Structure 1
């Protein structure tokens, strides 16, 4: 039987519900390790993960057998439970509905990894909304405003 050969790289972006700034620097590293573990347990390769207080980015090498929606659903569900069980925040924590997924070629790996690693610096100049809309435009993804995340004015 022939093997399947693939090179699929996906950046996933999603936000805390209502973009509340609930991800604290004191525990974000533990959250990222937990999400990386879920990703690895699902047979995917975590290449980079980072974010800010209100959203995260992660970049994976994805196998063709992976259903991205199922993976993201599992990450959100499990990490919600993890955050609650660890009592990382006194506020109700929940990820916002939906996510962005953007594909890249092998030649772009270093740039995307560096972009994700520099999230905090990047967001000193650009809001999450500006960033997300720029992704949609750059990837020529048609969208309707009513189906985007619920935005809170910056």
Structure 2
């Protein structure tokens, strides 16, 4: 069976046209030392914050908490809003083998959260690694620009981003 993968496009005029828009939730978590919770995805090998689709019957906050626990092993409590990210500059192609399953223009709600329990335990299907990253070390990691935008807004501690 061929493995699923994703290809992220950013400000790419040659990117395929979206076939869907779906809501997702991400969670921006800092530890007591001010380090950012990051994971390395299995489908594109990029570093990201915990992120995933909002399922039927759950709130955006519930999705963010669930995704964080599933991907990292950490239980979090939502404490605020980083922003709403819906730019047409970001298009994601989901592939299964050589077949395009979906071309998505995401709508992401990024929430702030703090750890309330659990322990780092990467989910092998979604995360190769999970670690706490010093903000001044972020440039050493391969992070998609759309995710980096969320992280940068989370670190700036400004009013929520809407865009």
Q: Same fold (TM over 0.5)?
A: no
Whichever structure has more strand as a proportion of its residues is 2
Whichever structure has more helix as a proportion of its residues is 1
